[in-house]
């Protein structure tokens, strides 16, 4: 029976590049693999054919010979029996891991005993802006799996030691044969640990772990920002039957402040000033994030929205002794709840302001509005 054309076997054009060849091969190999078609001799035959075709076409020299002479180029043993000569391992290995990585422990080659590492934990921690500025030592309560105190994490009762698993002989992995192909999987008896518990501890039912609330001290560094992740190695869940513990990841959230607003290393603050101080000028006191007071000199005629910069009065900078700057934005507060005398004083003041020198912006604005209205009525 004549062999089918290799390009037809893989379903690609004769000018297909390496990526197209590999993609076509991977799709067909997964479709006709014997493990997915147990007992199907036709699928096994097809699987051998596509491997033989890919082994030839992926090699530039073999492909050139095939394009020139066809199957005759390999009739003298060049391709090996059924395409499974010494080169077959290289033909299939380049995509074996991505096809069957799930059966090989996430792509890790070789056997070895699984250690049953504990799971990682996440803890959401909210701190105040003051704590983020100065740093803090906080205690948190974390619900987690800890080593069983009765069996000291072994999972065995009465101090007895776990026994070597008879299924995998302590390796933690077993191999299964399907035709010519061997697949390695985690041992179903011991779950990959390589050991079995004959007399399980009653306190933890053989797992070596119990649920418990743990109190941990956490150091919050000065300058920590919203969204910072802190890793505490080995503070996660205890490993299975004495395996290594996981890690604890603390995600920090900085709560809003009632006075200050943070922007990186900068602190922003909006401060009201009396109308008289804005008009006549003077000195005002403002709070800072460190708890101190700072003095700002306000010039005569200060307007709402003016910003004053206080260098080195902002947030702490992480892993540094430096601090950012503080920006104070003032807004002029209009007097309210005036008595009759105060009203009379303001009326006299308003009457005394007969030109545009005292309120240049408002005078200029309404002058422009008047011009606009005049243009509309012309």
The angle that helices 88-100 and 18-32 make with each other, rounded to 10 degrees, is 70
The answer to the question of whether 151 is labelled as a binding residue is: yes
Give the rounded distance of the alpha carbon of 68 from its chain centre.
53
The answer to the question of whether 148 is labelled as a binding residue is: yes
**CA–CA distances in Å: residue 102 to residues 99, 116, 240:** 8, 17, 21
The answer to the question of whether 204 is labelled as a binding residue is: yes
The answer to the question of whether 269 is labelled as a binding residue is: no
The answer to the question of whether 165 is labelled as a binding residue is: yes
CA gap 328, 267 in Å, rounded: 9
The answer to the question of whether 353 is labelled as a binding residue is: no
Whether 201 contacts 151, CB under 8 Å: yes
The answer to the question of whether 187 is labelled as a binding residue is: yes
The total of other beta-carbon atoms located within 10 Å of residue 134's CB is: 15
The answer to the question of whether 201 is labelled as a binding residue is: yes
**Residues flagged as binding site:** 148, 151, 165, 168, 187, 190, 201, 204
**Residues flagged as binding site for Zn(2+):** 148, 151, 165, 168, 187, 190, 201, 204
């Amino acid at each position: 029976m004549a062999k089918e054309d290799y390009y037809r076997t893989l379903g690609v054009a004769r000018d297909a590049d390496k990526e197209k060849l590999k993609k076509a091969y991977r799709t067909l190999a997964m479709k006709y693999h014997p493990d997915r078609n147990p007992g199907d001799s036709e699928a096994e035959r097809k699987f051998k054919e596509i491997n033989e075709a890919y082994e030839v076409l992926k090699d530039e020299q073999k492909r050139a010979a095939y394009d020139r002479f066809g199957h005759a180029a390999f009739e003298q043993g060049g391709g090996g029996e059924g395409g499974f000569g010494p080169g077959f391992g290289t033909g299939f290995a380049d995509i074996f891991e991505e096809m069957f990585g799930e059966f090989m422990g996430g792509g890790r080659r070789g056997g070895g005993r699984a250690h049953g590492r504990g799971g990682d934990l996440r803890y959401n921690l909210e701190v105040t802006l003051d704590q983020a500025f100065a740093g803090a030592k906080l205690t948190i309560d974390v619900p987690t799996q800890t080593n069983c105190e009765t069996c000291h994490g072994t999972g065995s009762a009465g101090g007895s030691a776990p026994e070597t698993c008879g299924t995998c002989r302590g390796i933690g992995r077993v191999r299964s044969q399907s035709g010519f192909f061997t697949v390695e999987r985690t041992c179903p008896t011991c779950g990959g640990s390589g050991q079995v518990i004959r007399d399980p501890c009653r306190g933890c039912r053989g797992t070596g772990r119990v649920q418990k609330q743990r109190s941990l001290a956490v150091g919050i560094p000065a300058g920590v920002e919203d969204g910072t992740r802190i890793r505490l190695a080995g503070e996660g869940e205890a490993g299975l039957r004495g395996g290594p513990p996981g890690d604890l990841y603390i995600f920090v959230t900085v709560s809003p402040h009632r006075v200050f607003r943070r922007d990186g290393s900068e602190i922003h603050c909006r401060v009201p000033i009396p109308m008289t101080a804005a008009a006549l000028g003077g000195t005002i006191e403002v709070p800072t994030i460190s708890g101190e007071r700072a003095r700002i000199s306000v010039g005569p005629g200060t307007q709402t929205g003016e910003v004053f910069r206080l260098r080195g009065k902002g947030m702490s900078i992480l892993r540094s002794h430096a601090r950012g700057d503080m920006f104070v934005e003032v807004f002029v507060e209009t007097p309210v709840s005036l008595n009759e005398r105060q009203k009379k004083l303001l009326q006299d003041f308003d009457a005394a302001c007969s030109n545009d020198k005292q309120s240049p912006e408002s005078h200029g604005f309404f002058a422009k509005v008047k011009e606009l209205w005049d243009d509309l009525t012309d």
